[in-house]
Amino acid sequence: MTSDATTLQDKLKRVHRLLLRAYGEPVRQALDPVAELVSTILSQSTTDMLRDRAFDALRLKFPTWEQARDAPVKQVIKAIQMAGLARQKGPRIKAALQRITAERGELSLDFLADWPVDEARAWLMSIEGVGPKTAAIVLLFSLNRPAFPVDTHIHRVSTRLGLISPKTSPEKAHSSLEGLVPPKWYYSLHLNLIAHGRQVCSARRPRCELCQLSKWCDDFARRQSDNR
């Protein structure tokens, strides 16, 4: 291991510990894999609150996923209207449910628990509308597999801290952070980085004066240097 890699690993350990001190160890909560897939599709470009409202409305209208799969797409779109982009998300949800059934003979993703992670990720990403973040969320949250989802908060905070290069795209950040972070930390670090991005390290006005991580933050060091 190079000295640079050693330094980065040391920074990561300190960041992880400080985030646990600030936000605690998250309690594991999970939907079944199909429900998680639907919920994550709904979450795209909307808030958690609207995602949850749309998910609950969809389950109220269609108590089983088979009913949602077989319903006219207009009814699915209408049920999830509050999530935004319903005309895109509705057909994607219905098509995903149809694809799972066609290939597996039932509406279940439990089989992915036994597949190698890379193969399971590739299978999920072959579904239209499922990118690396959605696939990783299903794998990590519902199947307890070693995948590290990267959303906009995690990408921003990780870049500012210097855990990933500023040139690293959100798509490539998944593999970069999976290679850096020990798998046993994936769940807690994922959720605590999101919490930190929402509460302290916001996009437009990061609250650096309140940040527990400022000592280890490359972006904060640059800001301090520029103000001298």
- Contact of 58 with 85, CB cutoff 8 Å: no
pLDDT confidence of residue 228: 62
pLDDT confidence of residue 218: 94
pLDDT confidence of residue 96: 97
Q: Give the tokens for residue 188.
A: 């807690």
pLDDT confidence of residue 2: 36
Note the residue count of the chain.
228
Q: How many CB atoms lie within 10 A of CB 11?
A: 19
Residue among 133, 172, 184, 215 flagged as catalytic:
133
pLDDT confidence of residue 6: 61
pLDDT confidence of residue 171: 87
Residue 94 annotated as catalytic? no
pLDDT confidence of residue 68: 97
Is the pTM higher than 0.85? The answer reads: yes
pLDDT confidence of residue 225: 75
Q: What is the full per-residue pLDDT of the chain (228 aa) written as tens digits?
A: 334 656 899 999 999 999 999 999 999 888 999 999 999 999 988 899 999 999 999 999 999 999 999 999 999 999 999 998 999 999 999 999 999 999 999 999 999 999 999 999 999 999 998 999 999 999 999 999 999 999 999 999 999 999 999 999 988 999 999 999 999 999 999 999 999 999 999 999 999 999 999 999 999 998 877 666
Phi, psi of 175 (to 5 degrees): -70, -35
Write the CA distances from 175 to 21, 54, 101, 132, 148, integer angstroms.
26, 31, 29, 10, 8
Residue 168, classed as helix, strand or coil, is coil
- Contact of 173 with 188, CB cutoff 8 Å: no
pLDDT confidence of residue 3: 41
pLDDT confidence of residue 28: 87
